Copies of this chain bind each other. A is one copy, B any other.
Amino acid sequence: MSYRYLCLLAAGLLSTTMASAQTSAPPSATSSPIAFAIHGGAGTILKSRMTPEGEAHIRAGLTEALTTGYAILQRGGSAVDAVEAAIRVLEDSPYFNAGKGAVATSAGTFELDAAIMDGSTLQAGSVAGLKHIKNPISLAKLVMQHSPHVMMIGDGAEVFAMSQGIDTVPNSYFRTETRWHQYEHMRDSVAGTLPKSSYNDPAIEKKYGTVGAVALDREGHLAAGTSTGGTAFKRWGRVGDSPIIGAGTYASNASGCAVSATGTGEYFIRNVVAADICKRVEYLHESIDSAATYVVMRKLVAQHGDGGVIAMDSRGHVVQPFNTEGMYRGYIDANGKPVAELYK
C-alpha cells in the first residue's frame, strides 16, 4: 500500500460528498426516467492555464454533445443511439482527443480506438488502431450490430468499414495545429533539443483526452461508449483501455450500471475498472456513487493510476469521480438542462 493511498485514507477524502464526485438527480420523475452524461477527458486541467476562448470551445462542445444525445432519448430513441450521436459530436470537434483533434503517436501518425456497449443485450463493438475512419464510435456500433465479432483492429477493421459504407478520411484529417505543436514539442524534447522548462507549456500538459458517454433510455436500457486518439506520443500500436470492454467501457442492465472511463489506460485495463464498478454495484450492492468513487479514488490512487469515470445506474443517477486536476464532463440536470464542468 503506497504512502499516497494511506494519506488519502487518513485525510478522509473518500466520502461520497467529495467535490470531484458530482452527481445529478434522475432527469425525470416518471416511471421511465431518461438520463445522459458525457466526459471529454481528464488530466492536468487547471483554470489558471485555460484561455477564455479555449474554455468556451470546450463548454460549447460538451453542451452540443449533451443536447444531441439527450434529444434522442427524449424522442424515445435508444441509449446506444444517444451515446453514438454525442460521441460523434466530440469526435468531430477539434478540441477533444478523439476523431479530429486526436493526439499523434510517437511516429507522427494518428491511431484511433473506440467501443460501445448495449447493456440490454451485453452486445458490444470495439475497434482499435484505426487510421482512416472519421467516426470510430460509429464503426464500433457497426461491428456490434453488423458483424459476429466484438473487436476488430487495424486494416482488417478498415476493410470491414469499407463494406459498411462508412465515411473514411486520409490520416492527415485528424491533425490539428494545436496537437501538431504538442507532438513537435514532445518529439523535440525526447530528442533533447528543448529546455526542461518547455514541459510547462500548456500545449503539452498531461491530459488523457478520451471522450465518452453513458445513457439510460425510456425502455430502461443502459449503454456506454468511449472514443480516443490514445495518449499523446504513445508508441505505435499501443491500445489503451477505451476499446477494451470491461476496462474503459461497460454497460449491463443486469448489473444496473454503465461506465465510460478516461485516464492512464494501462491502470484501467489491469483493474478492469468499468466492469469492477459494475460488479461492485451488482455483487456488493453498493450505490453507483460508492462503487465508482471507491475504484477511482482508492484503488486507482493507490496505484498512481490517474483518471476518472462517468457512471450511471439503472435509475439514471450519475456520478463523475476523478483523481486528476480536472475532467471535462457534463450531464443533463433534473430540468433537462445541460451542465458542463471542467475543473474540481
Q: Which residues of B contact A157 (CB under 8 A)?
A: 237
Instruction: Please measure, in the bound complex, the distance between the C-alpha atom of A126 and the C-alpha atom of B243, giving whole angstroms.
Output: 14
Q: Mark A141-172 against chain B: 1 for CB-CB distance below 8 A, else 0.
A: 00000011111111111111000000000000
Instruction: Please measure, in the bound complex, the distance between the C-alpha atom of A158 and the C-alpha atom of B235, giving whole angstroms.
Output: 12
Best-surrounded residue of A122, A155, A284 (most CB of chain B within 10 A): A122
Assuming A272-B250, A283-B284, is B238 touching A151 (CB within 8 A)?
yes
Binding site of A, secondary structure by majority: helix, strand, loop or mixed?
A: mixed
Q: Is A94 an interface residue (CB 8 A)?
A: no
Q: Which residues of B contact A236 (CB under 8 A)?
A: 155-156, 159
Q: Is the CB of B152 within 8 A of A235?
A: yes
A152 nearest in chain B by CB position: B237
Q: Mark A193-205 against chain B: 1 for CB-CB distance below 8 A, else 0.
A: 0000000000000
Q: Is the CB of A160 within 8 A of B237?
A: yes
A285 to chain B, nearest CB (A): 10
Q: Is the CB of B237 within 8 A of A156?
A: yes
Q: Is A280 an interface residue (CB 8 A)?
A: yes
A147 nearest in chain B by CB position: B235
Q: How many copies does the complex hold?
A: 2
8 Å CB contacts to B: which residues of A218-255? Answer: 234-240, 244-247, 250
Assuming A246-B244, A269-B245, is B275 touching A153 (CB within 8 A)?
no
Q: Which residues of B contact A154 (CB under 8 A)?
A: 129, 153-155, 237
Q: Mark A102-145 against chain B: 1 for CB-CB distance below 8 A, else 0.
A: 00010000010000010000111010110000000000000000
Q: Mark A267-278 against chain B: 1 for CB-CB distance below 8 A, else 0.
A: 001111001100
10 A-B pairs besides A129-B153, A150-B270, A244-B245 with CB distance below 8 A are: A128-B239, A149-B238, A151-B238, A151-B244, A152-B237, A152-B239, A153-B237, A156-B238, A159-B236, A283-B284
Binding site for B on A (CB under 8 A): 105, 111, 117, 122-124, 126, 128-129, 147-160, 234-240, 244-247, 250, 265-266, 269-272, 275-276, 279-280, 283-284, 303
